[in-house]
Amino acid sequence: MHRRYLLIITALVLGLTTWSFARGGLQKGGMPSADHRVGKIGHVTITAPVKVGNTTLPVGDYEVKHISTPKEHFVEFIRVVEIPNPAWAMRRPPQGTPRYERQKIAKANCTLEPLAKKVGKTAVVISGNEASLLRLQIKGEDVAHGF
């Protein structure tokens, strides 16, 4: 009787192990599997206008986030702008916490490239000739986003 239970447990362990190895990596269509870390929010500063998709990003600070839906996946570029406090203009000491406004500037479809390890710092790769965004790596993810 114990031997029968041992055989059943062994078969389950082997089956689950095989299944977990078979489902790793990117799924069909470049969609991330559950094994990849995506969906983190990164912060980048754009110092010169950059084209991403059909939109040109103006100079500024941005939050970038990979979003995945059943039909597509893309990166959103949200510009973060500090709302000035009139009291600060009169050289009074700042009171309270600064307020920020977030403006969705662009949504660009992307392809995923698996990386060997997690990204340590959010970074962008821009083509020199056209000033267009080629690749984005977001801190904490283990994929690069290509445009």
- DSSP character string of 3-33: HHHHHHHHHHHHHHHHHHHHT-SPPGGG---
Radius of gyration of the chain (CA): 22
Given a cut of 50, whether residue 25 has pLDDT beyond it is: no
Asked if residue 24 has pLDDT above 70, the reply is no
Is pLDDT above 80 for 29?
no
Residue 35 binned pLDDT confidence (cut-offs 50, 70, 90): low
Give burial (CB, 10 Å; 0-12/13-18/19+) of 62: buried
Mean pLDDT of the chain: 80
Each residue's pLDDT tens digit, 126-146: 998 889 999 999 999 999 999
Highest mean pLDDT, choosing among 83-92, 94-103, 128-137: 128-137
